Amino acid sequence: MIKIAIYGKGGIGKSTTASNLSMALSEMGYKVMQVGCDPKADSTGALTGGQKITTVLDAIREKGNDVALEDFVTIGDGGVVCIEAGGPTPGVGCAGRGIITAFEKMEALGAFERYQPDIVIYDVLGDVVCGGFAMPIRNGYARNVFVVTSGEKMAIYAAGNIAIAVDNFKARGYARLRGVLLNCRNVEDEEERVAEFADDIDSKIVSVIPRSGTVQQAEALGKTVVAAFPDSEMADVYRKMAQNVLRECEE
């Protein structure tokens, strides 16, 4: 099983990237599970027709000890197994602790044994890499980390913090930073800036995702680009990204 964590600051496009990665990998014949680790629970929307699904924490709140996998697992486009960790009741509890609770419940119920994915993709909010938000790169949940960034200053700053966190966990035998996914925002000298950043953290750009209106058109349909516009140039960009990501994980 290949275990991948996609990190990035809020609003950088990591969920769009993760969902198109999942769909492209599914198209290649892999059984994919995508786990959203953001309290907003919006990671898998492009795989489920734009609909928010019942989260692990919502299911636990509703059914307590009687919760079952069927209560929070949704099969999305391409057969992708979609799970959202969810978050606490607004104003009550800790989002990071909620992710830990969700992971523990998934493990207790045998989610991986039941659905037997070839590839698991964790889509993780990377503004803060501590507590529950570090969970995917702890205890063997994800061995391979990719950081989504643009050339914008705050995106690169957040990506740098993620890289530091991954490096700390690598020393303990956990995850390894495999590369940077550049999600372009048409910032001046964007690719050069991100390439310099990648070099500074002893990494590299694995894929360049150009800014395109096709992405917004697909999102308006509640779809990934790969599913909504399979013959488009952007769909091929995501397919190439999927191939590059797999290659890095295999090294």
Residues annotated as catalytic are 9, 14, 40, 127
Fill in the amino acid letter for 236.
D
Residue position matching structure tokens 């037997």: 116
Tell me 153's DSSP state.
H
Residues 239 and 40: beta-carbon distance below 8 Å: no
Beta partners for 156? Answer: none
Residues 15 and 156: beta-carbon distance below 8 Å: no
SS3 for 169-204, per residue?
HHCCCCCEEEEEEEECCCCCCHHHHHHHHHHHCCCC
Q: How many CA atoms lie within 13 A of 157 on its CB side?
A: 6
Token digits of residue 164: 């530091």
Residues 41 and 86: beta-carbon distance below 8 Å: yes
Give CA–CA dist 244/223, Å, rounded: 22
Q: Determine how β-strand 81-84 pairs with β-strand 144-149.
A: unpaired
Tell me 155's DSSP state.
H
Give CA–CA dist 179/147, Å, rounded: 7
Token digits of residue 91: 């104003």
